[in-house]
Amino acid sequence: MNREEARERARELVGKMTLEEKASQLRYDAPAIERLGIPAYNWWNEALHGVARAGQATVFPQAIGLGATFDEELLHEIGGVIAEEGRAKFNAYSKQGDRDIYKGLTFWAPNINIFRDPRWGRGHETYGEDPYLTGRMGVNFVKGIQGDGPYMKAAACAKHFAVHSGPEELRHEFDASVSAKDMEETYFPAFEALVKEGKVEAVMGAYNRTNGEPCCGSKTLIEDTLRKKWGFEGHFVSDCGAIQDFHMSHGITASPKESAAMALNAGCDVNCGNTYLHILSALQDGLVTEEAITDAAVRLFTTRYLLGLFEETEYDRIAYDKVECREHLHLALKAAEKSFVLLKNDGILPLRKDKLKTIGVIGPNADSRQALIGNYHGTATEYVTILDGIREYAGEDIRVYYSVGAGLFQDKTEQIALPHDRLSEAKIVAQHSDVVILCVGLDETLEGEEGDSNNSYASGDKVSLKLPDSQLALMEAVAETGKPVILCLCAGSDIDLSFAGEHFNAVLQLWYPGAQGGRAAAKTLFGEVSAFGKLPVTFYETLEELPEFTDYSMKGRTYRYMEKKAQYPFGFGLNYGKTAVKEAVLKDGQIEATVENKGEFDTEEVVQVYIRCEDSQFAPPNPQLCGFKRVFVKAKESVSVEIPISPRAYTVVDEEGNRFTPGGAYTLYVGLGQPDGRTEELIGSKPVALQKNMDKEV
């Protein structure tokens, strides 16, 4: 069914409704209209990295880990699996008459906000700090979810539009002041890509204001930008409780009915919350028209028709046994393997089973399910912690010792014990081990969404790049034993790894790797796979080099605008091979490169292309990502790879927010990371630099 046919059928159905019935359908928990054969429908469902909050589902790595894969095809495949499991669950629940929250087919994912500041607690819900990477990963995720059949498999939603990335503590009242240049250069591109290329069915507004307008009631954002400029044809949904913020927190309106009117008139179709209960009062007072109510209802029923909810479709036959089936679990395992980022390795990795008699697994995240899942997660039948995975992989021939070592952030593990009550045990385990796997980091209780976390703000944001004091003491105690140490970090954001970099033999960033994460970690540590990813965010040396958290200017933020050397740069990551880009040429609008692996291990590698406009005052100060491709390279062999470069890569944005192609000279860098000194220092090679002069081609 095409959109025009779906829209016509939606108009016909909505035309049969009373005014009250039409208004009722703008709620996220839309009631049934039995006389018209319309069942109840709850628009609120989550699928950030698997179907969430509705029982069993395959739990993939958290979004930031998926971003680290730099693998568009993988994101497309994961999106398809999520939609398939969503359909299977929807079909089964519907047969039970269960149409509750989290059981529909409209998934409020992906989160494509830009992770511009490492303090933001929800940053791990995103694909990182780069607009191009975020757009490519997001487009493929959306296409995977929605499918390419005559009906949508499920509906995706790009959130949170626009300019939303903390502080969580202030989000209900905060006004993000953003220049036209930063808006077009950083905050808009991923949303534009998902609308224009991904054909995303829904867009969700943010809690905050942007340049004075509440995002869920902004004609500038919803009508002028989304619908008129970009041609968005789907529906717009508010974040949950965001419309009541208009009068309760932002002070933009004086009453619920004024807030409801402001949102509806701006083009917000679904209210997650209860403020649209005042729509009819707003109509009585002349604040909205019946036409506006009708238009919103038509857009919503267009989506329901596109999902095939009023006729039989091929998706009705998707059975419940697809949920957490073997193929889907294998994909989750593969995704975890591709998401890990190897930040340091002095040669200790990969481990060899035949050289080890004992392994010590230490740390609060070693046997933690919480450290696997991130937030907005489903429920897995099996959770394989890092300890589980290592013990399973080690088998009977290697003794595995374990100590929690410390609380995640508490100074003791037993209430009436003295502080640091597990440090002695950690030292004993280390002393009895040939090698130590030290598992530290955070989980969703320390970084996450406002209201869901337990840190010092109770907001979910971080106040420091350092790990909690309990874990710093544990790291120091283990280092003092003199044993070889591999640090495994479960966290969704930049963590200060200066101590680990100086004192430990290897550092492996695991993010929140999903329910199969421990099994993937073990396979990686022992060298069965070398499928590492790259950092989708910058690891800074200190927070002091960054502007204030509330400053939304991009100056000094992210790899594109930063002025100092990174601890670990965006795009960086090692592997078990010895890879380099041997040669590259620019031909017919694409990069043709040769990747060589001189090492002893087969490995996957991510070839990255960065571009700098040399002649325009409006170009970002540092080269920016404009292409990437993941490839598999066997030991002692080379492979060729083709990476298309969009004409958009040659554009810049002026201070008024106008994007244009200035012509002149450009440098493209083809390598395994950024063309910066720190990356060169870490990987030991430079990218291939290519020159292009647009003026000569005119």
Write out the catalytic residue numbers: 239
What b-and-e string marks burial along 433-451, b requiring 16 or more CB atoms within 10 Å of the CB? bebbbbbbbbbbebbbbbe
Question: CA-to-CA distance for 18 and 23, rounded, in angstroms?
Answer: 9
Identify whether the C-beta of residue 138 lies closer than 8 Å to the C-beta of residue 193.
yes
Identify whether the C-beta of residue 125 lies closer than 8 Å to the C-beta of residue 61.
no
Alpha carbons within 13 A on the beta-carbon side of 684: 6
With tokens 């699996």, the residue in question is 81
Question: CA-to-CA distance for 356 and 351, rounded, in angstroms?
Answer: 8
List Cα–Cα distances, 667 to 484, 622, 689, 691, in angstroms: 43, 11, 7, 5
Question: CA-to-CA distance for 602 and 386, rounded, in angstroms?
Answer: 24
Identify whether the C-beta of residue 633 lies closer than 8 Å to the C-beta of residue 613.
no
DSSP H or E run through 488: strand 485-490
Tokens of 508: 């492996």
With tokens 């009117």, the residue in question is 261
Identify whether the C-beta of residue 608 lies closer than 8 Å to the C-beta of residue 625.
yes
With tokens 């757009």, the residue in question is 135
CA angle 451-100-52, nearest 5°? 55
Question: CA-to-CA distance for 335 and 340, rounded, in angstroms?
Answer: 9
Give residues with Cβ within 8 angstroms of 424, minimum separation 6: none
Question: CA-to-CA distance for 495 and 66, rounded, in angstroms?
Answer: 18
Which residue blocks in 254-325 are alpha helix, DSSP H? 256-266, 279-284, 290-306
DSSP H or E run through 507: strand 506-509
Residue 99, amino acid: R
Question: CA-to-CA distance for 676 and 689, rounded, in angstroms?
Answer: 12
Identify whether the C-beta of residue 344 lies closer than 8 Å to the C-beta of residue 380.
no
Give residues with Cβ within 8 angstroms of 286, minimum separation 6: none
Q: What are phi and psi of 488, to 5 degrees?
A: -110, 120
Question: CA-to-CA distance for 302 and 6, rounded, in angstroms?
Answer: 5
DSSP H or E run through 9: helix 3-14
Identify whether the C-beta of residue 362 lies closer than 8 Å to the C-beta of residue 439.
yes
Which residue blocks in 43-128 are alpha helix, DSSP H? 63-68, 72-95
Longest dimension (CA), the chain: 79
Identify whether the C-beta of residue 491 lies closer than 8 Å to the C-beta of residue 441.
yes
Tokens of 433: 């081990």
Axis-axis angle for helices 256-266, 290-306 (nearest 10): 60
Q: For residue 650, give the DSSP letter.
A: G
Identify whether the C-beta of residue 265 lies closer than 8 Å to the C-beta of residue 9.
no
Burial class (CB in 10 A: 0-12, 13-18, 19+), 523: buried
Alpha carbons within 13 A on the beta-carbon side of 558: 24
Nearest to 93 by CA among 42, 49, 142: 42
